[in-house]
Amino acid sequence: MWTVSWQDNPEYVWLDDASGKAVMITVSCLSYSTQYIYNVTSEPIYAQAENWRSFLEDYYGTEVQITDEEWFDSAVRFALTFPLGEGGDQEQTLFQMDLYIYFADGFTMLSPYIWPYQASAHS
């Protein structure tokens, strides 16, 4: 595992030795006050989540969907699900990775933890 960071910004990318792909990403983003998010609009947050979903789809070459969200006082968590496995749909398993947007602190973190997605737990 390698960590790449930039001196002037609190941005980090953790790279897997074997694949060279990023497994965790933390980057700065615009910060929004909680008053702005709850009283005006949350569209910028949804736009960020969609940009990450699209990036991951292109980066990993698999379909990625936002299947769940959970709002906190100063952050939101989006569940990103994607299929992995060989062959057709029957042999593929859906997995989940979480995207955290800390809108009050101005940074976004793509979690490195991936686990099998269970739709019943998120319905």
Return the pLDDT at 70: 92
Contact yes or no for 106/22 (Cβ under 8 A): no
* Nearest alpha carbon to residue 80 among 42, 107, 114: 114
User: Residue 123's pLDDT is what?
Assistant: 43
Q: Give the model confidence (pLDDT) of 44-77 as tens digits.
A: 889 999 999 998 899 888 899 999 999 888 889 9
Beta-sheet strand order (sheet of 93-102):
2-5, 12-15, 22-28, 107-116, 93-102, 76-84, 65-71
Q: Are 84 and 116 in contact (CB under 8 A)?
A: no
Cβ(45)–Cβ(103) under 8 Å?
A: yes
Enter the pTM of the model.
Answer: 0.75
Number of domains in the chain: 1
**What confidence score (pLDDT) does residue 51 get?**
92
Q: Which two tokens stand for residue 17?
A: 């030795």
Ranges in the chain, pLDDT < 50: 121-123
Total residue count of the chain as it appears in this document: 123
Structural domain of 60: 2-122
